[in-house]
Structure 1
Amino acid sequence: MSGSIPAPRGAGHSPRLPRLLAALHDRLPKDRAIEWARVLDQASGPADPVLTRFATTQVAAGLAEQLDTVIRVWSAECANLPGSALSLALASMSETARPIPPQPVVSGPVSPAVPARLTSGIALDVIRSASVSLLIASFAARGAETVISEIADAAHRGVRIDLLLEETTHAADAFSTLPNDVQIWHRIPHSGVIHAKLIAADRHTAVLGSANLTDRALTDNIELGVVVRDPTVVGPLVDHFRWLISPQAAIMRRSDR
């Protein structure tokens, strides 16, 4: 098959290269996908040194290994195909609206086993993507100054912000510097606690998992989560938390700060 364009999926032998490019596109934010397309466009083929040099600059967990897999499969399936063809395929995916599957998010040690984003980075990305509302839930909060700074920036650009925080852990103390229009919610005294960990931007993107908004949880602890970019999933999730803080539910109360 060397030198040929990969056959369509389902047409006899199904090549891996199209699937690998699709997985790569699904992982990368749009600006990073554009950067990757630009680098691929410069490559004459899978052996071009520009690709190995680019791989050494990739610091996200497993991303260099993902590129190495693309190069190896590219070489095995269609070595004569120029990088401009792969670049065009990647750019075309960025211009075509399609559902993005949930992606893993991790804290702590990283490995090439799962192509995952780091919790600290994806939390900032999700907060930055909010233009109307930001809903955050956490059991504990300490430090996390970069996250708090991004929340403050969101408040300054007019985003409605609701923080659902566990009162017994004094999580609200970490957000004392935020503007007064940022609303903090505690659960009305009950046997249960707020244990959910969620950051939801508008109704389109959410990261949920095990990590609290603490320095250790965002970086050093072994934590696991997913980022969801599907409004059909994120919307009802936001609606549920909006119901929790509604007066008629009588479950949460606004903190006087």
Structure 2
Amino acid sequence: MPEDRIAVMEQVLHTISGPDDPLLSRFIAAQSAAGLPQQLSEIARVWRSEVPGMTGAGLALVLATVRSLPRPRPAQVSVSGPMNASMPARLTSGVAVEVIRSAKTSLLIASFAAHGARNVVTEIGRAVDRGVRVDLLLEESTQASVAFAALPDDVHVWHRVESSGVLHAKLIAADRHTALLGSANLTDRALSDNIELGVVLRDPHVVEPLIEHFHWLMAPANSIMRPA
């Protein structure tokens, strides 16, 4: 149920004595939003069966407590190339900078190729200046590390140990709370002109396992990634 609907219901509940109060029935019947009457009826059913002695004010307090708890922000789509005005998406170049800018302690960035992407490189440099640890996992065969040559020496660059495969992942992860996953490499064309698709995750429960996977890849004992 949308947060604004929950807030309205809290106000109404303060005037209701219990789950069988006619005021509650009338309130439910007056709702016109698709699916909302069914949601409210289900709340009333559970209220009646589980805690029939609870007052409306008591239930309002429960809803207010739940509403105050932090909730993960929904995933957000990012695209490169032509933009559909009716689609709620943002350009990959802007999203990449925003994610980097949100980092307070660590940045983990993976890309198969890199070229140009001056705004991204500049933002990484600013992150380093404010004390953020930066790990760049780059494909050595594409010479991607050249794009980041101007960054300070304390940026950690990683290449894959000799194998039959390549590092093809594309990821920008800030701390353990936000990650941009997608098809775009860190190149000017991929961030703006190519037809690319990505998604921004802002749920730490989803982002943390991604970070842990890459930390496992970088662990010296696993001989998968090596410092450049």
Report the TM-score when normalising by structure 1: 0.64
User: Is 2:33 the partner of 1:15?
Assistant: yes
Please state how far the C-alpha of 1:112 moved relative to its aligned partner: 2.6
Show structure 1 runs of 4+ deviating over 4 A.
5-8
Please state how far the C-alpha of 1:248 moved relative to its aligned partner: 1.2
CA–CA separation in structure 1 for the residues paired with 2:84 and 2:68: 30
Q: Name the counterpart of 2:202.
A: 229
Please state how far the C-alpha of 1:114 moved relative to its aligned partner: 1.9
Q: Name the counterpart of 1:242.
A: 215
Instruction: Name the CA shift for 1:229/1:14 in 2 (closer, same or farther; >3 Å).
Output: farther
SS for the counterpart of 1:235 is helix
Return the letter of the residue paired with 1:106.
V
Query: Given the alignment, which residue of 175, 178, 188 partners 2:148?
Result: 175
Correspondence 1:33-52 to 2 at 5 A:
none
CA–CA separation in structure 2 for the residues paired with 1:233 and 1:249: 23
Q: Name the counterpart of 1:157.
A: 130
Unmatched runs of 5 consecutive residues or more in structure 1: 19-93
RMSD: 2.3
CA–CA separation in structure 1 for the residues paired with 2:146 and 2:176: 27
Return the letter of the residue paired with 1:242.
H
Please state how far the C-alpha of 1:95 moved relative to its aligned partner: 7.7
Correspondence 1:55-134 to 2 at 5 A:
97-134=70-107
Return the letter of the residue paired with 1:153.
R
User: Is 2:209 the partner of 1:209?
Assistant: no
* Identical aligned residues as a percent: 61
SS for the counterpart of 1:113 is coil
Please state how far the C-alpha of 1:96 moved relative to its aligned partner: 6.3
User: Is 2:192 the partner of 1:219?
Assistant: yes
SS for the counterpart of 1:224 is strand
Please state how far the C-alpha of 1:101 moved relative to its aligned partner: 1.4
SS for the counterpart of 1:127 is helix
SS for the counterpart of 1:168 is helix
CA–CA separation in structure 2 for the residues paired with 1:243 and 1:99: 25
CA–CA separation in structure 1 for the residues paired with 2:33 and 2:78: 28
Q: How many residues were matched structurally?
A: 174
Please state how far the C-alpha of 1:14 moved relative to its aligned partner: 4.5
